[in-house]
Amino acid sequence: MPGTRPVRPLLRQEVADGIKRYILENRLHPGDPLPTETELCEALGASRSSVREAVKILHALDIVEVRHGHGTYVGHLSLSALVESLTFRGLLSPDDDVQVLADLVDVRELFERGMAERIVASLSGEQLDALERLVTRMSDAGVGGDGQGLIEADRAFHALLVAPLGNDLMGQLSMAFWDVYAIVAPQIDGFTHTEQAETVAAHHSIVTAARAGDAAAFVQAIGEHYAPVRRRISEARTRS
């Protein structure tokens, strides 16, 4: 607004913290409405400009959602800000590409290895059939395809793999790391047809192990799944 003084960064953060505190103390949930701007000013003892700047910060983090003409609501707390930050870091330089990719592979593999027994015990026959169909889609997409179909099927596969755990945070983190991985990975030399075939075979082994209830074989198949990209990371580091 014309004539409005810039809000000091410290004050802006204090007001943002106050809004977060309000959400927690009032046990609000995603989608619940927040007080009006005037009510927030009164509750927090802050100016309109401070509240508006604080809401901008929280909106960028998906902590609040601004619906123009309707008001401000508690956001759905997605990890989009994390994805943006990690992706940008990974695209800054070739060195960062390699390191970010190595970190992401470590985290993704840690998740799936660490939850192997629970994943194997939780997957239903219907879910296993769905995973098998995704492996078939990956295989079909890798034969003469542009790779996009394989990527989409791979994402759906890993989302379904952790879905039976019923852990929303783990599901969000898993997909957030997958999304960053999918953006950063192409900055390093792309998969060869041989590596694509290895990847599809590893996914098939994951399903086979889960269907047999064999957690040890599941863990081994997870390692085989990440082996091709680990080789590419090693080769990229050798070249640099």
Residue 159 has pLDDT above 80, yes or no: yes
Q: What is the predicted pLDDT for the residue at 239?
A: 72
Task: Determine the Cα–Cα distance for residues 76 and 95; give it in Å rounded to an integer.
Answer: 34
Q: How confident is the model at residue 178 (pLDDT cuts 50, 70, 90)?
A: confident
Asked if 177 and 101 count as a contact pair (C-beta separation under 8 A), the reply is no
Residues 141/148, Cβ–Cβ less than 8 Å: yes
pLDDT band (50, 70, 90) for residue 150: confident
3-class SS of residue 33: strand
- Topology of the domain comprising 80-239: Four Helix Bundle (Hemerythrin (Met), subunit A) (1.20.120)
CA 83 – CA 145 distance, rounded (Å): 27
Higher per-residue confidence, 131 vs 69: 131
pLDDT at residue 9 tops 70:
no
Mean pLDDT of the chain, nearest integer: 83
Least confident of 84-88, 216-220, 227-231: 84-88
Q: pLDDT of 113-137, one tens digit each?
A: 999 999 999 999 999 999 999 999 9
Q: How far apart are CA 87 and CA 110, in angstroms?
A: 20
Rg (CA), the chain: 22
Give the per-residue pLDDT at 135: 95
Which stretch of 19-23, 50-54, 77-81, 184-188 has the lowest confidence by average pLDDT? 184-188
Mean predicted confidence (pLDDT) in 156-161: 93
Phi, psi (degrees; rounded to nearest 5) at 37:
-60, -45
- Fold for domain 9-74? Arc Repressor Mutant, subunit A (1.10.10)
pTM, entire model:
0.67
Q: Comparing 9-74 with 80-239, is the CATH topology the same?
A: no
Q: Beta partners for 71?
A: 67
Query: Please, are residues 83 and 176 in contact by the beta-carbon 8 Å criterion?
Result: yes
- pLDDT for the residue 86: 63
Q: Where are the domains of the chain?
A: 9-74, 80-239
Query: pLDDT band for position 179 (50/70/90)?
Result: confident
